[in-house]
């Protein structure tokens, strides 16, 4: 079981190298970086989006809880919640920017 | 991005698109502001009425965060807010280019915010007092450490302002372009027009679903995000200004509590 998993993982990880071997690479550049950059961008954004959703979910849950307890302070809580959500989301946005750099710019590739 | 999307319809030679559209917004807002204040009436009508509502909204959020003396900063805050909002929304108009989808525009806004809140803090408290508050209420031995940490956190502010606005706008733009153009128009409708029987059924239905999804859901979502990001930029600007202005009082209170 474990061996087959490991083989599968190795096959997945080896594939971009094979794909790159067929494409002509520019001189001096490591040819496997491009495909791995795409993989890294996808995985990074997946992790970032999932964890960001967890964090934002917690923030919204407690904000809604507070708003239900104190409807009078709902406007202030909502403002604070939106600012907090923006600060949490900006971390995921950093990963998005890094992913876009990996996809479109590829500084080391 | 440029491969998927049609370039904007109005371009100046040798000028980048985001600069062109920034100029366009500047001209547009100036003309609208001139028209709104040309004949200022006590009982406002039309354009003046609309802009009074907008400015009153700005006054309200300034009063909430900065207090009444923060109304001095209305020109900075409202200009940034209206410019960013119009820039965000212009990116959604087909054939136009939103200047906030370019990193240079958002960085310019963030640098303006960064310099002006420090300037406001220095003007209010004096350079030495302002610098002292970077160390925070900690024992003397920890002050150099705090100073370095605070400098880094202050330098991170324009970075995060820049990247938040830029990332949100460009992320939404890429999502819209991929779902509408790549998946909807190019992929599914192209399949429908390719002539195969399955393609006509699946591609036709899928293409229509994609378009309804884009226009009915993603577009309103992008409008909401545009409003929200402009609001957040303005809100964080005000929070930074209030941090620079009120730190001395906060500090004094802290000391009074302890002794």
Domains belonging to chain A, first-starting first, are 31-109 (1.20.20.10)
Cβ neighbour number for residue B183 with a 10 Å cutoff: 17
pLDDT in tens, B190-201: 777 777 888 888
Among candidates A76, A82, A86 on the partner chain, residue whose Cβ is nearest the Cβ of B164:
A86
Among candidates A79, A90, A104 on the partner chain, residue whose Cβ is nearest the Cβ of B160:
A90
pTM of the model: 0.80
Please state the domain extents for chain B. Answer: 17-258
Give the pLDDT confidence score for residue B25 in this predicted structure.
Answer: 93
Are B25 and B87 within 8 A, CB to CB? yes
Poorest-pLDDT segment among B56-70, B159-173, B177-191, B245-259: B245-259
pLDDT in tens, A39-95: 999 999 999 999 999 999 999 999 999 999 999 988 889 888 988 998 898 899 999
d(CA A59, CA A62): 5
Angle between helices B74-90 and B17-36 (to 10 degrees): 120
Tell the burial category of B105 from Cβ atoms under 10 Å away from its Cβ (0-12, 13-18, 19+).
buried
d(CA B184, CA B176): 10
Give the pLDDT confidence score for residue B9 in this predicted structure.
Answer: 80
> Is A60 at the interface with chain B, CB within 8 A?
no
The whole-angstrom distance between A8's CA and the closest CA on chain B is 30
d(CA B60, CA B49): 16
* Nearest in space to B78 (alpha carbons), one of B100, B61, B93, B97: B61
> Is B102 at the interface with chain A, CB within 8 A?
no
Give the pLDDT confidence score for residue A17 in this predicted structure.
Answer: 45
* Nearest in space to A91 (alpha carbons), one of A63, A66, A64, A54: A54
Are A91 and A106 within 8 A, CB to CB? no
* Nearest in space to B66 (alpha carbons), one of B251, B254, B249, B224: B249
The SS3 assignment for A42 reads helix
Ranges of beta strands (E only) in chain B are: none
ipTM over 0.85: no
pLDDT in tens, A1-38: 456 655 555 555 554 444 444 445 455 556 777 888 88
d(CA B32, CA B28): 6
Q: Kindly indicate the confidence band of residue B234, based on its pLDDT and cuts at 50, 70 and 90.
A: very high
> Is A100 at the interface with chain B, CB within 8 A?
yes
């Amino acid at each position: 079981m474990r061996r087959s998993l490991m083989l599968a993982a190795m096959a997945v990880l080896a594939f971009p190298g094979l794909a790159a071997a067929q494409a002509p690479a520019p001189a001096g550049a490591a040819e496997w970086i491009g495909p791995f950059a795409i993989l890294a961008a996808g995985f990074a954004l997946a992790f970032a989006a999932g964890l960001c959703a967890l964090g934002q979910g917690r923030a919204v849950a407690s904000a809604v809880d507070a708003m239900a307890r104190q409807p009078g302070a709902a406007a202030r809580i909502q403002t604070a919640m939106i600012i907090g959500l923006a600060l949490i989301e900006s971390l995921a946005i950093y990963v998005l920017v890094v992913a876009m750099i990996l996809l479109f710019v590829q500084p080391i590739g | 991005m440029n491969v998927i999307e049609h370039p904007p319809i109005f371009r100046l030679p040798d000028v980048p698109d985001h600069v062109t559209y920034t100029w366009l917004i500047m001209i547009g807002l100036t003309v609208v502001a001139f028209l709104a204040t040309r004949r200022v009436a006590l009982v406002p009508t039309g354009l003046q009425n609309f802009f009074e509502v907008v400015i009153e909204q700005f006054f309200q959020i300034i009063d909430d965060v900065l207090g009444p003396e923060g109304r001095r900063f209305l020109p900075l805050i409202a200009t940034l807010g209206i410019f960013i909002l119009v820039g965000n929304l212009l990116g959604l108009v087909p054939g136009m280019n939103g200047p906030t989808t370019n990193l240079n525009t958002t960085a310019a806004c963030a640098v303006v915010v960064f310099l002006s809140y420090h300037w406001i803090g220095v003007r209010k408290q004096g350079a030495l007092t302002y610098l002292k508050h970077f160390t925070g209420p900690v024992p003397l031995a920890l002050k150099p450490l705090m100073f370095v940490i605070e400098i880094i956190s202050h330098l991170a502010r324009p970075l995060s302002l820049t990247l938040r606005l830029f990332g949100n706008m460009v992320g939404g733009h890429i999502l819209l372009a991929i779902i509408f153009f790549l998946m909807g128009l190019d992929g599914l409708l192209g399949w429908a027009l390719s002539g195969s029987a399955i393609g006509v059924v699946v591609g036709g239905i899928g293409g229509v679903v994609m378009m309804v999804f884009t226009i009915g859901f993603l577009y309103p979502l992008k409008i909401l995000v545009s409003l929200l990001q402009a609001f957040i930029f303005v809100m964080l600007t005000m929070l930074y200004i209030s941090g620079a202005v009120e730190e001395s009082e906060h500090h004094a209170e802290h000391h009074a509590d302890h002794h």
